[in-house]
C-alpha cells in the first residue's frame, strides 16, 4: 500500500540505494544529533548493531499496556530499475506470503489470533524512498513483542518468494494498481512529467506499471529484495509500554544474526531541472476542478538540524503562514476570487526544492483567481508583513508549544513513532517539548517582520518566468498563451502595501443569567457524572488523566438529518458550511484573528438525529471554547461567504460524481436501496445550487434555539470549574426542550423489495468494476443479534480475504460491513463489495456466493472464529484507554444510556458466542436469493 500521497512524498528526504558495484565495507551510520547542538530527547534509546542495523526504543505508557513496532527500510521505488518498477511495493506484499519460519498465508492469521486486525493493526507502505512495516500491539505481553520482532526479522532477510505465492499475489498487486488508476492519479503523473522532466522518481511510481508487474518473477523480486533489504539500510522502532532494556535485548537476540551486506551507493532521484522556466501545460479531464500551479525549482538547501536552522525555519514558516492567511481571507470574502490558494516550498528529496503558488478556482474563473493570488504573493514579497500579522502567527505557535509542554507526560505512542521516523527520513532530531519552548522564547526577540521576510525569501524560489500548469474540465480561452499573458500582465500591476486591520474584542462573554443545576448524579456502571441544568441542558462529565492538559468536548443538538423529509430531502445539506459564515458578531476571518493563540474550534456536522459540534481544547481555553459553542447555536453568522464556498464545492462534486467506480456506486446506492426515497437519493445539481443560508435558517433555527442539548466533556479538567463555565455559557441560554424529539413519522427507512440485479455505470478506466451484494438485516434494538452480526462481519471479512485475495488473487481488499441502525426502526444492512477487473466479475460473484453459502451450510471453524473475535475483544480491553474511547460513551450518556450497559457487558457476551451463532446469523439474513446485487461497470462504449 502507498501510505503517503504522491505530492506529500515530495516533502521527504531521501537516501535510496543505487545500482552500482557493491563496496566491501559496512557503513557506520552517524546519528544526526551526533553533529548537532540540539539535545535529543533522552527518553529515546538509539543504538546500532554490529551488522549496521539501527534501532530506536522509547518506553511510553500512553495508551497503557500497548505498543507499536515498525521496521523501516531506507529504500523505495526509486531504487528500482526500469524493469523492476513496482517491485519494492510487490516485495512489501510478499512479506505476508511466506518466509523461512512462517508458511505462506500464516503471518496474518498468526497476528489475528493475537488480536491484531489486518489493516488497522497490521500494515505496510511503500513510497519513493522508504518502505515501512507496522504492527500495533494491543497489549504489552512479552511473548507478543517476541512474535512481532520475529516477524520483522523474517521480513528482513527470510522471505521465500514461492512461485505459486508470487503468481497469486500478482493478481492482488495488479488489482491495487487498477484501483489506483483514477483521474486524480493520471493528473498527478502528467503534473510530475511536466514539472520534473527526466527525473528518475517521476518514472518510479511506487505502484509500478501493468507491464512490469505482469513480468514479475520470484527471481526478479528476490534480486531487488537482497539489494535493498540490508542491515545498514534499515532500522527497527519499538515504542510503548515495555522496559527499554528488555526491548533492546530482544532486538539483539532477533537481529544480530542478520549478516551485513555490501554497501550500495545512494541513487539520485532527480535530476531536478533548476533552470526549467517559461513552460506552460494544460491538462484536461471531465472530473477535474480548475487549478493553476505556478512553480520554480531551486537547489536543495542545507537542512542540517541545528538550533540556528530551527530558528530560521520558525521565521520562514511564520512567513508562509502569513501569506496563506491572506489568501485564506480572500477565499472567505463575500465574492471570493478563488475557492482556495496557498504558497509553499517542497523539498524534492535531497535533490532540490520547488516553490509553488497553487490556486483552486471556480469553473471558468481562472483569470480572476490567478490575478488575485498572484497579487497577494507579490505584495508579501515586495512590502513584507505587519506587526499584527506576525503577532497572530506567533500567538498560534506559542500556544502550540505551550500545549505540547503541558501534555508532554501523556504523549501517545504514535507521537514518538513520528519522532523516530522523522529522524530517520529527514534527519530531524526529536527534542523535548520543554527544550523546544525554551528555544522559541529565547529566539522571540529576533522574530520581527523584517527577519520573517528575510528568512522566507532565502528559501522561496522567486516565481520569475515560472512553470504554469492548468488543470480542469475545459481549456482556458486562449490556451497556454492566455495563461502566460495573464501571468505577465499580473506581474506588471502596481501594488499597494497590506493595510493593517484593527480587531474588535471577543464579543461572546455574556449569555445571560448563569444556569443552575437541577440534577447531579453519577452513572453507576462507569462513573460518568450526569447533570441537568435549569434550561434543560444535559451535561456529561468524565475526568481522566489519560491525556494531560487535553479536553475533548462534544455538543449534540436535536435535529440533524431528521429535518430532511420526503418533501424537503436536502433541508440540512448546507449545515456543514455554516461555520464559514462565522458568528453574528464576527466573521470567520475575524474569529481566526481574535482567537489566535487559543485552542478552540468551530465546526458543525450532522448525524441521523442531531447537529454535532466537536472540539479539542485545554483547561486554559475551555471557557472560551464553551463560549464559541454557545454562540454557534445562539447567534450563527449566516454570512454569504459560506454560500459562495458551498456552491463552488457542489459544482466540483458533481463534475466528478461518476469519475471512479467507487464514487459512482456511492452516489447511486441510496436511491437503489431505498427505492428512490428522496431523503437518501442524490438530488439534481440545481437543487443543491438553489439552497441558501436564508432557507437554511428557516429550516434549522428552531432546533438551534430550542432543541434539546447534550454536552459531553472528557479529559483533564476540574469538575467544579467546568460546571461553573457551562452554567455561564450553554447553561445560560434560554429554555430548551427537555428531550430529544421522537420524529416518529421520519424514522422509517425501507430496503428495496426489488432484488433484480442492477448495473451502475462509471466514467473511469475501462477495466475497473465492483461487485457488491447487500442484504437487509435489522436495527440495533437487540444487542445479542448486534454482537452476532458484528462477529459475522469479521468472519466474513476473513473468509473473503482468504478466498478472493489469498487463494484466487482477484482483489486488493474485499470490503464487508454490517450496520444496524439506532435511528430507523427495523433497518440495517450487511454489505460485501470487491473491486475487480471487468473480466473477473463473474468469477468474483461466484466466489462471494460460495463463501456466503459455506457460512450458511456449516459452522465456521474454530480458528477463523478466533481470528475474527480476538481483535474485537482486544478493542473492548483498550476502548477506555483514550479520551476518544470515553467520548464514545459519554457523548449521549443520558439520552442513550443503554449504550453504556451494552459496553460493560459486551466483551463477555461476545466471548461466549459460538460458530453456531455465526451460522445462525448467516442463515437468517444472508440467503443468496434475498441479496441485492449491484455491478459497477464502465460507461458503455468506453
**pLDDT tens figures, 527-585:** 999 999 999 999 999 999 999 999 999 999 999 999 999 999 999 999 999 999 999 99
Q: Work out the angle between the directed axes of helices 218-228 and 163-179 (0-180°, nearest 10).
A: 80
Q: Where are the beta strands (DSSP E) in 387-505?
A: 467-472
pLDDT at residue number 24 = 36
- Pairing verdict, β 290-298 and 352-361: antiparallel
What is the Cα Rg of the chain in Å? 29
Q: What is the mean pLDDT of residues 734-750?
A: 96
Please say if the pLDDT value at position 402 is more than 70: yes
pLDDT at residue number 7 = 39
What 3-state DSSP class applies to 644?
helix
Cα 439 from Cα 195, distance rounded (Å)? 38
Closest CA to 887 of 546, 522, 532, 410: 546
pLDDT classification of 28: cutoffs 50, 70, 90: low
Q: What is the mean pLDDT of residues 460-473?
A: 98
272-285 as b/e, with b when 16 or more CB fall inside 10 Å? bebebeeebbbbeb
Cα 212 from Cα 830, distance rounded (Å)? 38
The angle at the Cα of 673, spanning 656 to 928, to the nearest 5 degrees, equals 120
Cα 893 from Cα 532, distance rounded (Å)? 12
Weakest-pLDDT range from 256-270, 441-455, 474-488: 256-270
Cα 598 from Cα 834, distance rounded (Å)? 45
Distance of alpha carbon 604 from the chain centroid: 19
Please say if the pLDDT value at position 814 is more than 80: yes
pLDDT at residue number 484 = 98
Closest CA to 375 of 330, 315, 321: 330
Task: Say which residue, 644 or 320, is predicted with more confidence.
Answer: 320
Q: How far apart are the first and last CA of the chain?
A: 28
Q: What is the mean pLDDT of residues 583-611?
A: 96
pLDDT at residue number 19 = 30
Please say if the pLDDT value at position 881 is more than 90: yes
Instruction: For residue 29, give Cα distances in angstroms to 48, 141, 231, 333, 599.
Output: 8, 32, 11, 52, 40
Taking a C-beta distance cutoff of 8 angstroms, is the pair 871, 109 a contact?
A: no
pLDDT at residue number 499 = 76
The neighbour count for residue 701, using CB atoms within 10 Å, is 13
Cα 386 from Cα 95, distance rounded (Å)? 54
pLDDT at residue number 12 = 25
Residues in the chain: 942
pLDDT classification of 320: cutoffs 50, 70, 90: very high
Closest CA to 497 of 387, 416, 624: 387
Please say if the pLDDT value at position 82 is more than 70: yes
Cα 350 from Cα 279, distance rounded (Å)? 24
pTM: 0.94
The neighbour count for residue 892, using CB atoms within 10 Å, is 21
Amino acid at each position: 500500500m502507498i501510505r503517503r500521497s504522491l505530492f506529500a512524498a515530495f516533502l521527504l528526504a531521501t537516501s535510496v540505494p543505487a545500482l552500482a558495484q557493491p563496496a566491501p565495507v559496512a557503513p557506520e551510520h552517524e546519528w544526526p544529533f551526533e553533529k548537532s547542538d540540539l539535545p535529543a530527547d533522552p527518553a529515546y534509546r538509539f543504538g546500532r548493531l554490529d551488522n549496521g542495523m539501527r534501532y530506536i526504543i522509547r518506553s511510553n505508557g500512553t495508551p497503557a499496556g500497548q505498543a507499536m513496532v515498525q521496521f523501516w527500510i531506507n529504500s523505495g521505488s526509486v531504487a528500482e530499475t526500469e524493469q523492476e518498477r513496482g517491485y519494492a511495493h510487490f516485495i512489501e506484499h510478499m512479506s505476508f506470503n511466506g518466509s523461512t519460519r512462517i508458511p505462506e498465508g500464516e503471518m496474518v492469521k498468526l497476528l489475528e489470533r493475537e488480536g491484531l486486525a489486518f489493516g488497522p493493526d497490521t500494515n505496510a507502505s511503500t513510497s519513493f524512498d522508504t518502505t515501512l512495516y507496522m504492527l500495533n500491539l494491543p497489549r504489552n505481553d512479552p511473548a507478543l513483542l517476541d512474535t512481532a520482532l520475529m516477524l520483522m526479522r523474517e521480513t528482513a532477510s527470510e522471505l521465500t518468494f514461492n512461485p505459486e505465492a508470487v503468481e497469486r499475489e500478482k493478481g492482488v498487486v495488479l488489482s491495487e494498481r487498477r484501483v489506483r488508476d483514477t483521474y486524480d492519479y493520471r493528473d498527478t503523473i502528467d503534473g510530475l512529467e511536466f514539472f520534473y522532466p527526466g527525473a528518475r522518481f517521476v518514472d518510479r511510481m511506487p505502484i509500478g506499471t501493468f507491464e512490469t508487474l505482469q513480468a514479475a518473477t520470484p527471481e526478479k523480486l528476490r534480486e531487488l529484495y537482497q539489494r535493498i533489504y540490508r542491515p545498514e539500510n534499515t532500522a527497527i522502532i519499538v515504542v510503548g509500554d515495555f522496559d527499554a532494556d528488555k526491548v533492546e535485548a530482544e532486538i539483539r537476540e532477533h537481529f544480530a544474526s542478520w549478516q551485513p551486506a555490501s554497501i550500495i551507493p545512494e541513487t539520485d532521484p532527480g535530476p531536478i531541472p533548476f533552470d526549467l522556466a517559461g513552460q506552460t501545460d494544460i491538462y484536461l479531464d471531465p472530473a477535474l476542478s480548475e487549478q493553476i500551479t505556478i512553480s520554480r525549482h531551486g537547489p536543495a538547501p542545507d537542512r542540517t538540524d541545528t538550533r540556528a536552522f530551527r530558528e530560521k525555519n520558525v521565521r520562514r514558516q511564520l512567513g508562509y503562514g502569513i501569506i496563506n492567511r491572506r489568501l485564506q481571507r480572500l477565499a472567505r470574502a463575500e465574492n471570493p476570487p478563488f475557492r482556495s490558494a496557498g504558497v509553499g516550498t517542497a523539498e524534492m528529496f535531497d535533490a532540490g526544492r520547488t516553490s509553488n503558488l497553487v490556486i483552486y478556482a471556480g469553473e471558468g474563473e481562472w483569470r480572476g483567481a490567478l490575478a488575485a493570488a498572484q497579487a497577494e504573493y507579490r505584495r508579501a514579497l515586495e512590502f513584507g508583513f505587519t506587526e499584527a500579522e506576525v503577532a497572530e502567527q506567533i500567538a498560534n505557535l506559542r500556544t502550540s508549544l505551550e500545549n505540547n509542554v503541558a501534555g508532554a507526560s501523556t504523549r501517545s505512542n504514535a507521537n514518538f513513532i513520528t519522532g523516530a521516523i522523522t529522524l530517520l527520513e529527514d534527519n530531524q532530531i526529536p527534542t523535548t517539548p520543554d527544550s523546544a519552548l525554551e528555544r522559541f522564547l529565547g529566539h522571540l526577540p529576533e522574530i520581527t517582520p523584517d527577519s520573517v521576510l528575510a528568512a522566507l525569501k532565502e528559501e522561496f524560489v522567486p516565481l520569475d518566468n515560472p512553470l504554469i500548469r492548468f488543470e480542469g474540465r475545459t481549456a482556458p480561452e486562449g490556451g497556454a498563451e492566455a495563461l502566460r499573458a495573464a501571468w505577465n500582465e499580473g506581474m506588471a500591476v502596481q501594488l499597494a502595501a497590506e493595510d493593517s486591520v484593527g480587531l474588535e474584542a471577543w464579543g461572546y462573554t455574556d449569555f445571560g443569567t448563569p444556569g443552575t443545576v437541577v440534577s447531579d448524579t453519577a452513572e453507576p456502571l462507569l462513573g460518568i457524572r450526569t447533570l441537568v441544568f435549569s434550561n434543560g441542558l444535559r451535561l456529561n462529565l468524565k475526568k481522566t488523566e489519560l491525556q494531560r492538559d487535553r479536553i475533548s468536548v462534544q455538543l449534540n443538538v436535536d435535529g440533524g438529518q431528521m429535518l430532511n423529509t420526503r418533501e424537503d430531502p436536502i433541508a440540512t445539506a448546507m449545515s456543514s458550511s455554516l461555520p464559514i459564515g462565522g458568528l453574528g458578531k464576527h466573521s470567520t476571518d475575524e474569529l481566526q484573528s481574535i482567537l489566535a493563540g487559543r485552542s478552540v474550534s468551530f465546526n458543525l456536522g450532522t448525524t441521523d438525529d442531531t447537529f454535532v459540534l466537536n472540539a479539542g481544547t485545554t483547561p486554559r481555553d475551555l471557557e472560551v471554547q464553551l463560549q464559541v459553542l454557545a454562540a454557534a447555536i445562539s447567534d450563527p453568522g449566516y454570512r454569504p461567504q459560506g454560500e459562495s464556498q458551498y456552491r463552488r464545492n457542489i459544482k466540483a462534486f458533481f463534475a466528478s460524481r461518476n469519475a471512479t467506480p467507487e464514487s459512482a456506486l456511492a452516489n447511486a446506492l441510496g436511491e437503489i436501496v431505498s427505492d428512490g426515497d428522496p431523503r437518501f437519493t442524490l438530488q439534481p445539481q440545481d437543487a443543491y445550487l438553489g439552497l441558501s443560508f436564508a432557507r437554511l435558517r428557516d429550516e434549522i433555527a428552531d432546533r438551534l434555539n430550542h432543541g434539546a442539548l447534550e454536552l459531553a466533556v472528557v479529559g483533564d479538567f476540574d469538575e467544579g470549574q467546568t460546571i461553573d463555565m457551562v452554567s455561564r455559557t450553554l447553561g445560560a441560554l434560554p429554555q430548551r426542550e427537555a428531550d430529544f424529539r421522537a420524529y416518529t413519522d421520519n424514522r422509517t427507512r425501507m430496503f428495496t423489495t426489488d432484488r433484480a440485479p442492477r448495473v451502475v455505470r462509471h466514467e473511469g478506466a475501462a477495466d475497473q468494476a465492483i461487485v457488491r451484494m447487500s442484504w437487509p438485516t435489522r436495527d440495533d434494538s437487540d444487542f445479542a443479534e448486534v454482537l452476532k452480526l458484528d462477529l459475522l462481519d469479521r468472519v466474513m471479512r476473513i473468509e473473503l480475504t482468504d478466498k478472493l485475495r489469498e487463494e484466487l488473487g482477484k482483489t486488493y481488499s474485499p470490503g464487508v460491513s454490517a450496520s444496524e441502525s439506532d435511528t430507523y426502526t427495523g433497518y440495517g444492512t450487511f454489505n460485501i463489495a470487491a473491486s475487480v477487473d471487468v473480466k473477473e466479475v463473474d468469477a468474483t460473484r461466484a466466489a462471494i456466493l460460495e463463501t456466503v453459502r459455506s457460512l450458511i451450510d456449516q459452522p465456521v471453524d474454530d480458528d477463523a472464529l478466533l481470528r475474527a473475535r480476538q481483535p474485537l475483544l482486544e478493542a473492548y480491553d483498550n476502548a477506555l484507554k483514550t479520551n476518544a474511547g470515553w467520548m464514545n460513551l459519554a457523548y449521549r450518556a443520558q439520552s442513550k444510556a443503554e449504550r453504556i450497559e451494552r459496553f460493560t457487558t459486551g466483551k463477555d457476551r461476545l466471548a461466549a458466542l459460538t460458530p453456531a451463532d455465526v451460522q445462525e446469523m448467516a442463515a437468517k439474513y444472508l440467503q443468496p436469493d434475498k441479496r441485492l446485487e449491484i455491478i459497477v461497470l464502465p460507461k458503455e462504449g468506453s
